A and B are shown apart, each in its own frame.
Chain A
Amino acid sequence: MINCPHCGASNKDGSKFCGDCGQPLITRNGVTCPMCDNLNPPGVTACTQCGARLIPVSVTPSEEPLEPLEMEEEGAVVKGVEGDDTVPEPDDLGEAESLEEFAKVSEAEPEDAMPPWLEKLRELPSEEAASEEEATRLAPGELPDWLEIPPEFEEVLSEAGRAVEEEEVSRAEIPSWLEALRPAEDGVAEPGEPAGPPERTGLLKGIRGTLGIEPILAIPPRAASLPAFSAPPYAYEHAEVFDKVVREPARPSAEVVRPRRLETLVASTLRWIIYLIVATAVVVPILLGSNWAEANMPVTASTIAMYDAIEALPADSVVLVSHDYDPGVAGEMIPQAKAVVGHLMRRQVRLINVSLTPEGARLSREVLDELAEAHGYEYGDDYLSLGYVVGVEAGPRSIAEGFGGAGWTDFVDGIEDVALIVEFAGATEYVRLWLEQVQAPYGVPMVAGVSATADPFVRPYYRNQAQDQLLGLMTGLVGAAEYERRAGHPGLALASMDSQSVVHIAIVLLVLVGNLAYFGGRLRGK
């Protein structure tokens, strides 16, 4: 690999130009860095990659003789090491309690105690050695061989010298704003520099004329002499009373802050009036036996679509009905179930009833028994109730795959024989379970009756008719009433519509009255 001397990018061996910046790569006349093997262009003094120096430093030995190192006799340990050349072995320290004691002992020992190997070393500075040392001693100003500049570097060095000179020349071209940032010598202000002492710390170190922040923040306020003050005697008495009151421990107040009685009374009364209005709106039409809605009930398109899907079923076809609700929404779901299941029985279709909730199984059983008796349906021959199916997501799937497999019904041989799924859902997730686990994978047509709260989250599946997810949809007690009117069999739902109409109108009026009261209060400035 060749590293580009200009941008540092790695290039393949043999490349002539850098693949990154396009500059020529030096392959022959360059200088190889001894530290990182990077090939540098001629003339550079430091490696472009690692910054290591590429040319040897020219050393000029000092003319003055070096001062001998003066060792201070600070401790006997140093003395022992320097004077005797006897390196104490760790084992020799055995009897001596400390290094100091050992040093004293070694000082006292005669030279005979020196080991033979050390004796040999002592003989080394002989005459031969002295002559060798003299031969290698250099004259002042002379460089040793290993520091001599090779001839091939002479040219490089001269170019590097020129580059340094150019750098020095170009220093004068530094712009004034950059020059102003150059750290100044302490206490010496150059001509033209802003006045004031230079910053000594931080990022602005060396720069003069900065806005000082310390004087503003750190200088303590000077104590100003107060004017002469003389208080009257009663002021001291008041101050004493105040001090006594402040120092007393807090006591619970005897007076409890109570909400204003009138406001509480009005709010409570108003609440009860609203409850009374709602109750009256529900009860009075029922007591009067009003049936105004029977003739004026509009039927929405989604309910008509559901009715049509059931009306199109051939006789003896099999319909899977799932009752997934609980007593909380039974007020709107049971009228739905009665209206639709009644229609199914009039169409003479066979019904398989299941439930994904335990309460739904119980509630549907009563509906089925009542309607079966009215339409002459026989349990086992014309309809089945499989009860509560556990398993959440796996529940509907197990029902679909259980047909014909376990032999618990001879109505159908498989889910493909089911003509329609009718789902009664008190909550959105039950519709979703049937859609995801049965309708979509097996392509069984499906309609749904849902509670009013579930409607917004189910409606997208009905409106997605391109996918045939829900062929029809009816919502809440109103949906049941619409279905009854469409089927021409008025029942509980249609009978309840007058009450519901009055309650809806009452709530709309309450909204309007509430806003009138709100604006009235604002006009009064409350």
Chain B
Amino acid sequence: MRRIVNAVALGMKRSVPMAIAMAIGSLMLVDFFFDEPHINALGSFFVESAVIVVAFALLLGLLNVLIVHGRKIARREEGWLYSICLVIIALVVLVGGIPGPETSTVKWIFDNVQFPLQAATFSLLAFYVATAAYRGFRLRSLESLAFIAAVIVVLLGQVPAGRYLSEFVPAAKEWILDVPSTAGVRGIIIGVTLGTIATGVRVLMGIDRPYGGEGGSSQ
């Protein structure tokens, strides 16, 4: 008897999420392509629900971070001091932001901690790019010649100095960005689009199951 109950439970565990995903996925697809008031209303309802679910997922994410680092601190694992810092700062921001995102505490943390750190980190890229340009752009082959030529033209054509050198430079830069670069990127986008369509069809047909906690793919 227990075996039968377990088998039914396992079947339900697999089939019920699959049925829900297939039904709602198909409905959203129909909602996207057809202008039918009832289906559109249902689609809007599910979109609103998705926003709420994602908001709760953020809370769960925060909870997970706190649990993981709390365990790390309790076991004195490597880097547990950093975990203490993370937990304290997370709690400070959480408590400070409870009244609202525009409180003075949150504003102060953003303006004096988060913004300078992120901006400074990103700004370091300029120095790394400069050293990489010196050390990496070597004229070793015909392909590297084309690569270096494109780099120089785009770098100079991007700024007023390029125009000062020659009218040809900004025009060449525009051509590089509009023709070869766009052609390559468009190929990538088309490939990604086809892959997305295939994935969507697989999820709708229940072949892929990125839900249900069974490791993603089925079979």
A interface residues, Cβ below 8 angstroms from B:
270-271, 274-275, 277-279, 282, 292-293, 296-298, 300-301, 326-331, 358-359, 361-363, 365, 387-395, 397-398, 401, 405, 441, 455-457, 459-460, 463, 478, 497, 500-508, 510-511, 513-515, 518-519
- Judge whether A331 and B133 touch: CB under 8 Å: no
* Selected contact of B151 from candidates A279, A392, A511, CB within 8 Å: A511
In the bound assembly, the distance between CA atoms of A187 and B210 in angstroms comes to: 71
Q: How far is the CA of A511 from the CA of B133 in the complex (A)?
A: 5
Instruction: Decide if B174 is an interface residue (CB 8 Å cutoff).
Output: yes
Who on chain B is nearest to A464 by CB? B186
> What residues on A are CB-neighbors of B1 within 8 Å?
none
When distances are taken between beta carbons in the complex, the residues of chain A under 8 Å from B24 are: none
Instruction: Please determine whether A327 and B101 come into contact, CB atoms closer than 8 angstroms.
Output: no
Inter-subunit contact A510/B44 (CB<8 Å)? no
B32 touches A460 (CB 8 A): no
Given contacts A390-B51, A501-B161, contact A328 B127 (CB under 8 A): no
A331-B47 in contact (CB<8A): no
B48: A residues at CB distance < 8 A: 394, 398, 401
| Across-interface contacts of B151 in A (CB, < 8 A) | 508, 511
From B127, B158, B185, give the contact of A478 (CB < 8 A).
B158
Cβ of A515 and Cβ of B138 under 8 Å apart? yes
A395 CB contacts on chain B under 8 angstroms? 51
Q: Does B104 belong to the interface (CB within 8 Å)?
A: no
Residue of B50, B58, B127, B160 touching A293 (CB-CB under 8 A): B160
Q: 6 closest pairs, A vs B, by CB? A: A327-B118, A391-B51, A328-B122, A394-B50, A501-B161, A501-B159
Asked if B141 lies at the interface with its beta carbon under 8 angstroms from chain A, I say no
On whether the beta carbons of A327 and B51 are closer than 8 Å, the reply is no
16 A-B pairs besides A398-B51, A459-B182 with CB distance below 8 A are A277-B130, A282-B126, A293-B160, A328-B118, A330-B115, A331-B119, A362-B101, A390-B58, A392-B54, A394-B54, A398-B50, A478-B158, A515-B138, A515-B139, A515-B148, A518-B138
Count of B interface residues, CB-CB < 8 Å: 55
> In the complex, how many angstroms separate the beta carbon of A443 from the nearest chain B beta carbon?
12
In the complex, residue of chain A having the shortest beta-carbon distance to the beta carbon of B167:
A298
* B219 interfacial contact with A, CB 8 Å: no
A510: which of B51, B130, B181 is its contact (CB, 8 Å)?
Answer: B130
Using Cβ atoms and an 8 Å threshold, which residues of chain A touch B162? 504
Contact B127 A327, beta carbon cutoff 8 Å? no
Q: How far, in Å, is B53 (CB) from chain A's closest CB? A: 9
A461 to chain B, nearest CB (A): 9
CB-CB nearest in chain B for A514: B134
Residues of B within 8 A of A (CB): 32, 44, 47-48, 50-51, 54-55, 58, 101-102, 107, 110, 114-119, 121-123, 126-127, 129-131, 133-135, 137-139, 148, 151-152, 155-156, 158-164, 170, 174, 177-178, 181-182, 185-186, 188-189
Hey, which chain A residues are within 8 Å of B102, CB to CB? 365
- Which of A331, A389, A397, A507 contacts B130, CB < 8 Å? A507
Q: Chain A residues near B121: list those with CB within 8 A.
A: 328
| B138 touching A478, Cβ below 8 Å | no
Contact A278 B160 (CB under 8 A): no
Establish whether residues A459 and B181, one from each chain, have CB atoms under 8 Å apart when the complex forms.
yes
**Contact present for B50 and A391 (CB under 8 Å):** yes
Name the one of B114, B130, B135 contacting A327, with C-beta atoms under 8 angstroms: B114
Residues of B within 8 A of A401 (CB): 44, 47-48
* 14 CB-based A-B contacts, threshold 8 Å: A274-B131, A293-B159, A327-B118, A391-B55, A394-B48, A394-B54, A401-B47, A457-B185, A457-B189, A460-B189, A502-B161, A506-B130, A511-B134, A511-B151
Using Cβ atoms and an 8 Å threshold, which residues of chain A touch B101?
A: 358, 361-362, 387-388
Taking a contact as CB atoms under 8 Å apart, the answer to whether B185 and A459 are in contact is: yes
| Docked pose: A149 CA to B170 CA in angstroms | 103
Contact partner of B170 among A300, A457, A460, A507, CB < 8 A? Answer: A300
Chain A residues with Cβ under 8 A from B47's Cβ? Answer: 391, 394, 397-398, 401
Q: How far is the CA of A271 from the CA of B131 in the complex (A)?
A: 7
In the docked arrangement, what's the CA distance between A359 and B114, Å?
9
A331 to B177, CA, bound (A): 22
Asked whether, in the complex, the Cβ of A460 is within 8 Å of the Cβ of B182, the reply is yes
Please determine whether B127 and A296 come into contact, CB atoms closer than 8 angstroms. Answer: no
The reply to whether A455 and B177 form a contact with Cβ atoms under 8 Å apart is yes
Q: Which of B135, B155, B163 contacts A296 (CB 8 A)?
A: B163
Assuming the A-B contacts A275-B127, A518-B139, are A326 and B160 also in contact, with contact meaning beta carbons closer than 8 angstroms in the complex? Answer: no
Q: For the complex formed, measure the closest distance between the CB of A457 and the CB atoms of chain B, giving whole angstroms.
A: 5
* B185:A274 contact, CB within 8 angstroms: no
B159 CB contact (under 8 Å) in A330, A389, A391, A504:
A504
- B136's nearest neighbour on chain A, judged by CB, is A514
